[in-house]
Structure 1
Amino acid sequence: MSESTWKESAKGVIKDLRELASFTSDADGAHRVAWTPTWDKAQDWFKEKMKAEGAEISVDAANSVWAKIQGETDDAILIGSHLDCVPNGGWLDGALGVTGGMGAIKRYGKNGKKPKKTLYVVSWADEEGARFGRSCIGSSSVSGALDMEEAIKLKDNDGISFLEALKRYNLKIEDFPKARDQFMAKNIKSYLELHIEQAPVLESQGKSVACVYGITGCERQYITFTGQPAHSGAPIPMRHDAFLAAAQASLAFREIGLKYNAYCTVGKVKVTPDIVTIFPGECTISLDQRSIDPDVLKKIYEEAHDACIKAAADNKVEVVFKPVWSIPPTIFDKRLAELCKEAVKEETGEGTSMFSGPLHDAAEMAKFLPSIMMFAMSSKGLSHCKEENTPDKDLELAIAAFLRLVEKVSMNKS
């Protein structure tokens, strides 16, 4: 392809992104939370757009949507990402990867051309875990990592179970593992994913795009401190205040993250009773911990546990831990990383590479399949919010580099 053609294809992807945002977003951000009507509309939009390009559409046992263009050989490349988002999320998170794959498919199909290798694009089901707390539902069903006993117990903030939500889709959780068999029948040889960075590293370096060589591992849990609620007029040293224990532990998590150059995040806090004149007798917090180094991940997890035990003792309360999700760090395929850096360098003049703090479906695919990711810079590092953005000029560079990568992998014999 000529230089101008790469850019024109990239502009087409941006046009699709804006079209998707036009009916799945408002002034408060994007609303494509998985297992909701707006997400369903986004999935249907993907199906119709790909049908119009001559792609074959299918939906697997875990409700991930697939588009296929037959190549000159049955050996296949998979481009994947997700269309779901967090509540009041951004227009690019996940959607950039799906529409980037759509841009690759548009080169073939109705144009009467075949790629060297068969090309699949998948919109994975529920990457975010925003509603039920368990991320990467679709891709972990394929990788075999979905814990069925855990999935059966999942509930949203309104107390609706995951099993109940699936009835609307005529799906049964016991069928989700069949998605792996469906995947293995596709003869897929490599997995590629384009995503926004969701952090300020690239912007701080003045760079638009980078090869991603790995993803941090993650330990995610809920921690509940239980004391005794009572009147807010009681002296602080005499209280059994569950919130103060959680607050003390949360500050300790911050110091642990700084100590190891790792990530520790408390994203949810729930106090009971939730009354202004009563100090809480119970407080549940979430803790999300990440590192690219497996030894560091183990250390920060253990030290956070110890910090909670100390906070509970200092505040005369009890503490219990409920694991939610765990995934080890991921290092991507070296050969694909070389091709990815080549594509980035051809587009920008530099073969920039980095690791990802945010999690992605690629971490599930890399468990059993050569995989690689590419990042587009994020303005101010903001994501998972309505302010999420990447300027068009940077998006064009990243998308063009990604399409170059698809071409390289398609032409590569391995």
Structure 2
Amino acid sequence: MLTPLNPLRTIAELKELRTLTSTHEGAQRVAWTETWDRARAWMRDKLATLPVEVRLDEAGNLWATLPGASPRALIIGSHIDSVPNGGWLDGALGLVAGLEVLRTIAARGTPPVTIRLVDWADEEGRFGYSLLGSSAASGTLRPEHLLTLHDRNGITLPAMLTGYGVDVEQMGQAGGELIDAAAYLELHIEQGPVLETQGLPLATVTGTCGVERYKVIWHGQAAHSGSTPMNQRRDALAGAAKLTLALREIAHEVGDGAVCTSGSVVCSPGIATSVAENVVQMVDMRHHDSIKLARLLNRAQRASWQFAAEEHLNVTWERIYQIAPITFHPQLIELAEAAVIDTCGVYYHMTSGPLHDATEMARSGIPTVMLFVQSLRGISHSYAEDTREEHLELAVRALANLTDRVIEWLEQGGE
């Protein structure tokens, strides 16, 4: 007897995972932690009931393969890791929905093409480097960029990965998993307010924005807060504060969806009785147009130099991460549109501001597309993250519909 698609099972399993790996503050599935291990063990238990081959690659990505009549592989992917105090659906939805689709296909017998489900390692970028596992597979990862990265507790990325049997220098060998890859699909929550504003449950994602992410380091002079006149201070925090406010105006001026964020400012010596001598500020800029993304960076840097001169400071910019805007495969976008229309009667196109592992798959040349499902209040990376259950059901059905369409497309020679 064939196993019918059961979106309610997906919702139940997502709740099961939430109970297993969350606290009252939200999801705690941070990559390379005991809770993340627990989540992966839970996923392995689910996969153990299916006729799939399960393995870890050299970058720590978890693969489940259902062999097909053809070695050409359709990959469904997402990530089970979360940010600290994250949401129950971010990443996990795509993986658990993919598990349900894999079950349904396996029940039919040998599929015409190979079907693979992948849980990408450290999508969230615990060490500041987003899409770690998928970038290793795609070939864009440069090991030398990882050697000095550390998390908020001072643990270096290479030391952490060694404890999980991952050698930074060998991570690129994960690219061998993509040799027969013919298409890549990913379902994700929107993480923003657009679909709710439009009154729509689902959208086809046409691509992802480019990102420029920097560490901006301000150097001033520590001085006693009680005895140093205001006009004689070299306050590093003043430069960072001015740039933080200027980023809003810069994003507004460049427009067309531009966003700029200063998400972290750390002062030294960091006490109430001293002017800040050094400040490390994290700046993230995004745009779907590469020219406008470059304009954001140029204007932000020029503004920082102006503020450094005004406050008698030195400022330097160190790039942490960069990725160009990505456009997904036009034929797969059409197939995704059709799947969404079949599922809910209407379709909507949008570009993703957040990055996803699909970005790296598209960069590697694999035909790629994504589906979004509405996020309530547009909230994500928070315990308050949520999506209506009826919309989660539609999302699972849309992913299954899209998977069937892409299998047929591949059978017909699509590439």
Shared fold per TM-score greater than 0.5: yes
**Is the CA contact 1:216–1:328 (under 8 Å) kept in the aligned structure 2?**
yes
Q: Say yes or no: does 1:257 pair with 2:254.
A: no
Q: Is the 8 A contact 2:206 2:327 kept in 1?
A: yes
* Residue-by-residue CA offset, 1:359-414 (whole Å, 9 max, x unaligned): 00111000111100000111111000110110101111122111110111011121
Partner in structure 1 of residue 109 of structure 2? 113
Partners of 1:335 and 1:100 in 2: how far apart? 23
Partners of 2:100 and 2:349 in 1: CA distance: 23
2:133 corresponds in structure 1 to 138
Query: Could you tell me which of 93, 113, 118 is aligned with 1:122?
Result: 118
Greater shift in the superposed pair: 117-126 or 66-75: 66-75
In the alignment, what sits opposite 1:48?
45
The answer to whether the 8 A contact 1:47-1:65 is kept is: no
> Is the aligned partner of 1:205 residue 2:202?
no
2:223 corresponds, among 219, 223, 230, to: 230
Secondary structure in structure 1 of the residue aligned to 2:307: helix
Aligned-pair identity in percent equals: 40
Query: What is the aligned counterpart of 1:321 among 296, 317, 320?
Result: 317
Partner of 1:248: 242
**Partner Cα separation in structure 2 for residue 112 and residue 374 of structure 1:** 24
- In the TM superposition, residue 253 of structure 1 has moved relative to its aligned partner by 0.8
Q: Which consecutive residues of structure 1, in runs of 5 or more, have no partner in the other structure?
A: none
Alignment partner of 1:75 out of 59, 72, 76: 72
Match in the other structure for 1:286: 282
Q: Secondary structure at the match of 1:223?
A: strand
CA distance in 2 between partners of 1:145 and 1:215 (Å): 16
CA distance in 2, matches of 1:181, 1:206: 42
Does residue 177 (structure 1) correspond to residue 187 (structure 2)? The answer is: no
- Cα deviation for residue 309 of structure 1 reads 0.6
Match of 1:119, SS state, is strand
Paired with 1:201 and 1:62, the residues of 2 have a C-alpha distance of: 34
CA RMSD of aligned residues (A): 1.4
Structure 2: where are the runs of 5+ without partners? none
TM-superposition CA deviations, 1:155-194 (whole Å, max 9, x none) = 112221111112221221111011012331xx11000000
CA contact (8 A) 1:107 1:113 kept: no
Distance 1:235 1:372 in 2: 58
Q: Report the Cα distance in structure 1 between the residues aligned to 2:231 and 2:64, rounded to whole angstroms.
A: 62
Q: What does 1:349-388 align with in structure 2 at a 5 Å threshold? A: 349-367=345-363, 368-388=365-385
Distance 1:123 1:182 in 2: 13
Number of paired residues? 406
TM-score (norm 1): 0.96
Deviations 1:85-140 (A, max 9, x none): 1000000001111111101111133x3523232110000011000x2111111110
Instruction: Answer yes or no: is 1:85 the counterpart of 2:82.
Output: yes
Report the counterpart of residue 160 of structure 1 in structure 2: 155
What amino acid maps onto 2:36 in structure 1?
W
Match of 2:342 in 1: 346
- Cα deviation code 1:47-98 (max 9, x no counterpart): 2211212221011000000011122322210001111110000000011111
TM-score by length of 2: 0.95
- 2 CA distance for matches of 1:354 and 1:11? 27
* 1: CA distance, partners of 2:290 / 2:100: 36
When structure 1 is superposed on structure 2, of 320-329 and 155-164 the one drifting more is: 155-164
SS at match of 1:313: helix
Q: For the Cα contact (< 8 Å) 1:200–1:378, is it kept in 2?
A: yes
